[in-house]
Amino acid sequence: MQFGVFTVSDLTQDPTTGRIPTEQERIRAAIAIAKKSEEVGLDVFALGEHHNPPFFSSSPTTTLAYIAAQTERIVLSTATTLITTNDPVKIAEDYAMLQHLAGGRVDLMMGRGNTGPVYPWFGQDIRNGIPLAIENYALLHRLWREDVVDWQGKFRTPLQSFTSTPRPLDGVPPFVWHGSIRSPEIAEQAAYYGDGFFHNNIFWPIHHTRQMVRLYRQRFEHYGHGSADQAIVGLGGQVFMHKNSQEAVRRFRPYFDVAPVYGHGPSLEEFSEMTPLTVGSPQQVIDRYASMRDEVGDYQRQLFLIDHAGLPLETVLEQIEILGTEVVPVLRKELAVGRPAHVPDAPTHASLVAKAGGPVDATVYSVDGVTGRRAEEVQA
């Protein structure tokens, strides 16, 4: 079971001080959050992608590569990579490159993006969100698995004899999660490929999460990737902790009340009841998150949103400290109890390489335009 944090890279005013961080401060904060997460023993750091203010993360692979160079162990992921508005060719290239630099610590989470105005900036239309996600990923999937791709689709120019470089590290594409909150088509997509399914349920009631995950598990089995309880499931989470639970509520409420997305809506108490938001003692967080598997089955990845709504960096780092030292070690133990042996862990680069029978150098040199043969084949 993997535990980690994700950031959406928002620049939000701290409602208790009126201060808004600069882009430079928030970019540095993301690096600090990632390093702290590794230091306290968390498994995953995931970074969002946005192309509009108030967010900084338009270029996640740049940020993740920088983090990769300064960390040793933590898995670097996305939350999410926009499979709709990014050219799948560029995703194939960028993340293959990142995987080489990070030494196999990278996976990705695909998402559509729900900000309508962003689509036309990249030549697309939000009304095509699902078809874009399906077509673009089908191409990306091939680009990482076939050295030379001929391809034609609806949403981008055709490809003739195209080779995406660098080829995947050790001949194994990065593991992919598909994130969706409401669309059964995306659960279906994840199941079809045998990829992971991430339900970012931070703003949603658990009964909704339950039906999305159930659908994914059933279809995973239908497509022959294993039994339903072997499907690869991830969940979002949102917590704020203090050893005294009333103090946690007192400190977090000003951020909650005006937070982007849910602020000015339900009360903190109502929202805590309806969604996985847990504001209280570390023990309360442990109890709440130890019970998630009762709803969705034994799962593989739990990511916490920890740094949004204007929380200052020092507070965020404190929260990560509590998460890593007091909460996650206990959750690891509790979730291991009764977990069937045939339920897999989240795939990693190492596990995928092992499954493929060991590392293969997948380098493609040049391809002869006339014969279609590669340079190394000609020399052989």
Partner 1 sequence: MSAQGMRGARDAGGTRRLAVVSAGLRQPSTTRLLADRLAKATVVALGELGVQTQVDVVEVREHGHDLTNMLATGFASESLEKAIETVVSADGLIAVTPIFSGSYTGPFKTFFDVIDDGALAGMPVLLGATAGTARHSLAIDHAMRPLFAYLRALVVPTGVFGATEDFGSADRRSVGSTDGSADGVPPIAVRVDRAARELAPLVAGRKARERTDPFSDPTPFERLLAGGS
Which residues between 260 and 279 bind partner 1 (CB under 8 A)?
261-266, 270-271, 274
Closer CB to partner 1, residue 94 or residue 135? 135
CB of 101 to partner 1, least distance (A): 32
Q: From the list 118, 215, 290, 313, which residue makes contact with partner 1 (rule: CB under 8 A)?
A: 215
CB of 303 to partner 1, least distance (A): 20
CB of 321 to partner 1, least distance (A): 30
Query: Judged by CB under 8 A, does residue 228 bind partner 1?
Result: no
Q: How many C-beta neighbours within 10 Å does residue 69 have?
A: 9
**Residues 275, 205 contacting (CB under 8 angstroms):** yes
CB of 220 to partner 1, least distance (A): 11
Q: How many residues does the chain have?
A: 380
Query: Judged by CB under 8 A, does residue 3 bind partner 1?
Result: no
Query: Judged by CB under 8 A, does residue 156 bind partner 1?
Result: no
Query: Judged by CB under 8 A, does residue 155 bind partner 1?
Result: no
Closer CB to partner 1, residue 261 or residue 356? 261
Closer CB to partner 1, residue 261 or residue 360? 261
Give the x/- contact pattern for partner 1 in 286-315, rule: CB under 8 A. ------------------------------
Which residues between 341 and 370 bind partner 1 (CB under 8 A)?
none
Query: Judged by CB under 8 A, does residue 81 bind partner 1?
Result: no
Query: Judged by CB under 8 A, does residue 163 bind partner 1?
Result: no
CB of 183 to partner 1, least distance (A): 9
Query: Judged by CB under 8 A, does residue 188 bind partner 1?
Result: yes
Query: Judged by CB under 8 A, does residue 184 bind partner 1?
Result: yes
Place of tokens 């698995």: 145
Q: How far apart are CA 366 and CA 72, in angstroms?
A: 33
Query: Judged by CB under 8 A, does residue 116 bind partner 1?
Result: no
Query: Judged by CB under 8 A, does residue 377 bind partner 1?
Result: no
Q: How many C-beta neighbours within 10 Å does residue 353 have?
A: 17
Query: Judged by CB under 8 A, does residue 255 bind partner 1?
Result: no
Q: From the list 27, 32, 97, 131, which residue makes contact with partner 1 (rule: CB under 8 A)?
A: 131
Query: Judged by CB under 8 A, does residue 254 bind partner 1?
Result: no
Q: How far apart are CA 248 and CA 246, in angstroms?
A: 5
Q: Which residues of 211-237 are buried (b: 16+ CB within 10 A; e: fewer)?
A: ebbebbbebbbeeebbebbbbbbbbbb
Give the pair of three-digit tokens for residue 318: 């404190």
Site for partner 1, rule CB under 8 A = 130-131, 134, 138, 154, 184-185, 187-189, 191-192, 203-205, 207-208, 211-212, 214-215, 219, 223, 261-266, 270-271, 274
